[in-house]
Amino acid sequence: KSGQLELLQEEGYSSERKAVEQEFLYYLQNHTNSRPYIHSGYVAFFETPDRFLVSNLGVQDINSYHDINWIDTAMSLRDKRNPEALTVRRTTRFFSFEENQEIITVFRIIRSGIHPVGVVVLNIKPSYFDSLMRRLLLVEGQTIEIYNEQGETIYSYSKGAMLENGDYLKVVEKGSMFSSVSMTPYAQLFKLPIQLSKILLLVIFLLSILVLVITYLDVRWNTRRLEVISGILDAAAKGETIPRRIVRREDEYGYLIEEMIRLFVANEETKIQLIEKKSKFNELELMALQAQINPHFLFNTLETINWEASRLTGSLQNNISGMVQNLSDVLKYSLSNPSDPVTLKEELYYAQCYVAIQQQRYSDTIEVLWDIDQEALSSKGMKLLLQPLIENAIYHGAKEKEASSTIVIRIRRLDEFISLCISDNGTGMKAEQLAMVKLRIEEEGMEESHIGLKNVYKRLKLHYGDSVQFSIDSEWRVGTSITILIPYIPMSDEHNS
């Protein structure tokens, strides 16, 4: 501040001046100690040139301090014709026991407003810059010099001795206060690229020879492999014995030869197996024709029981006849060709026949509610889709509940999909049981429990693929709900296609 600067220029000594000097000294010490390249710093005022501040010693007198050859240069900056800042290289010593050393000194004017009142002086160690230069990747004989505003050399560094007779690449950079010159010998500058070029040419030559040798060996090896393959093909075409050569499976040729031998050998074995399978197929066909007699015998027997029950009761409308008729319909439907197309309406009818049988068995303990969207019934369905799910709801939900239970079958059309939901208010499942059921229906093989549920899930995946959605929700002592989403496929469209 201007008030503090005026106080420092006054004659005499006071507590206020001491406080200001301590503040300037603290500022000077912070700047010099925090920068490793600064040796020391001074602050001198034009009005009191015999006293000045030293960064590491405090206030010093011109008669007691050794380094004073900078004072004349600092005082000369008061002249307006001189620059605001100046950098010089000088030789000095700071203490009597030291030897003279080279130092770079930077001067800069202190102003109070527009009036110059003093100078800040920083002494910079050239040795610090020498250590930095040694870390740079300089070539042998390269020299770097730094000049001040007057063109005087203030710093110079050379790596090795300079060449007496040689051309140099000179690079000059000019700044506001300093300029630098880098001189590099052309011989050293291009020495490394020339050596690298020679090494590169040698490597290319050796690689070319190596590639030629590898190519020759590879062609020779592949030619032999092709001769082996040709021999195998000729032998197979003439019906001769295939040569059983031991071939190591190391590349595509070895793999091809091994596979050809394996396939030709397997072909002979396949001919024998086909003869055996044809004989077994004829035997199985006879057994299948014989097995067709059993369902027809079962249907005829059920019809006989139905008429006998009607004759004994004197009426066609009785529980026994109804159960026999429903059972006959369900068996006939389940034993028919599974590939025959059916509508959801047909599937619903046979599911209702099954429910009627179960309601006769469990009397009033199970109530079944039907919530059916008539638009959905014209869609193509899958045989035995509802019956196993209703059976699962009865035996794993409603049957295990002590009180009466309700099963709701809901079928809805949702634009391009059909939603089928079978829910019950039976015992339900705990979270661990539900997770286990979901895991088991995904696994291969059949489990002892939930066979129908897994059967339906697998058949849905085979029939509809990824377009089907199958979900199970259950809560302990609340009930279980199974929801299926399948594509809506009108039966008329199926027949037309």
Instruction: Let me know whether 144 and 42 are in one domain.
Output: no
Q: Could you report the per-residue pLDDT of 66-94, keeping only the tens digit for each?
A: 888 888 888 888 876 767 888 899 988 88
Closest CA to 308 of 296, 319, 297, 316: 316
Q: How far apart are CA 211 and CA 189, in angstroms?
A: 34
The answer to whether position 348 is within a domain reads no
Residue position matching structure tokens 């240069």: 73
Closest CA to 378 of 342, 422, 408: 342
Locate 321 and state its tokens: 């006849």
Q: How far apart are CA 166 and CA 188, in angstroms?
A: 10
The answer to whether position 69 is within a domain reads yes
Q: From its phi and psi, is residue 441 left (phi > 0), alpha (psi between -120 and 50) or beta?
A: alpha
Q: How far apart are CA 444 and CA 454, in angstroms?
A: 10
Instruction: Let me know whether 90 and 110 are in one domain.
Output: yes
Helices (H), 292-394: 293-313, 319-335, 344-362, 386-393
Instruction: Let me know whether 102 and 13 are in one domain.
Output: yes
Can you give the pLDDT at residue 440? 87
Can you give the pLDDT at residue 410? 96
Can you give the pLDDT at residue 7? 45
Can you give the pLDDT at residue 254? 66
Q: Give the number of other CB atoms < 10 A from CB of residue 190.
A: 13
What string of pLDDT tens digits covers the 497 residues of the chain? 444 445 444 555 556 666 667 777 788 888 777 888 888 888 888 888 888 888 888 888 888 888 888 888 888 888 767 678 888 999 888 877 878 888 999 998 888 778 888 888 999 989 888 888 888 878 788 888 888 888 888 888 888 776 666 678 888 888 877 888 888 887 777 777 788 888 999 999 999 999 999 998 888 877 877 777 777 767 766 666 665 554 555 666 666 666 766 676 667 667 677 777 676 655 545 444 444 434 544 555 566 666 666 666 665 555 666 666 667 676 776 666 666 788 999 989 888 888 887 887 776 688 899 999 999 999 988 888 898 898 888 888 777 777 788 999 999 999 899 999 999 998 889 999 999 998 888 876 555 566 778 888 888 888 888 899 999 999 998 999 999 999 999 876 444 44
Instruction: Let me know whether 378 and 492 are in one domain.
Output: yes
The answer to whether position 301 is within a domain reads no
Burial string for 51-82 (b: 16+ CB within 10 Å, else e) reads ebbbbeeebbeeeeeebeebbebbeebeeeee
One-letter amino acid at 77 equals: L
One-letter amino acid at 156 equals: S
The answer to whether position 333 is within a domain reads no
CA 23 to chain centre: 58
Instruction: Let me know whether 13 and 95 are in one domain.
Output: yes
Instruction: Let me know whether 102 and 209 are in one domain.
Output: no
Can you give the pLDDT at residue 81? 72
Domain boundary among 127, 150, 168: 127
Is-contact 106 74, C-beta < 8 A? no
Beta-carbon contacts of 482 under 8 Å, excluding residues fewer than 6 positions away, are: 389, 392, 393, 421, 422, 423, 453, 470, 471, 472
Residue 375 is part of which domain span? Answer: 365-496
Locate 422 and state its tokens: 């079978």
Instruction: Let me know whether 216 and 266 are in one domain.
Output: yes
Query: Tell me, what CATH number does 391's domain have?
Result: 3.30.565.10
The answer to whether position 81 is within a domain reads yes
The answer to whether position 326 is within a domain reads no
Instruction: Let me know whether 167 and 220 are in one domain.
Output: no
Where would I find the beta strands (DSSP E) of 113-164? 115-124, 143-147, 153-158
User: Which DSSP category does 380 fall into?
Assistant: B
Closest CA to 74 of 110, 28, 38: 110
Instruction: Let me know whether 166 and 249 are in one domain.
Output: no
Q: How far apart are CA 237 and CA 191, in angstroms?
A: 68
Instruction: Let me know whether 6 and 64 are in one domain.
Output: yes
Closest CA to 464 of 379, 337, 352, 362: 379
Locate 79 and state its tokens: 């002249």
Domain boundary among 219, 253, 284: 284
The answer to whether position 325 is within a domain reads no
The answer to whether position 354 is within a domain reads no
Instruction: Let me know whether 104 and 146 are in one domain.
Output: no
Instruction: Let me know whether 120 and 74 are in one domain.
Output: yes
Q: How many domains does the chain have?
A: 4
Domain boundary among 81, 97, 127: 127
pTM metric for this prediction:
0.41
Can you give the pLDDT at residue 309? 65
CA 185 to chain centre: 52
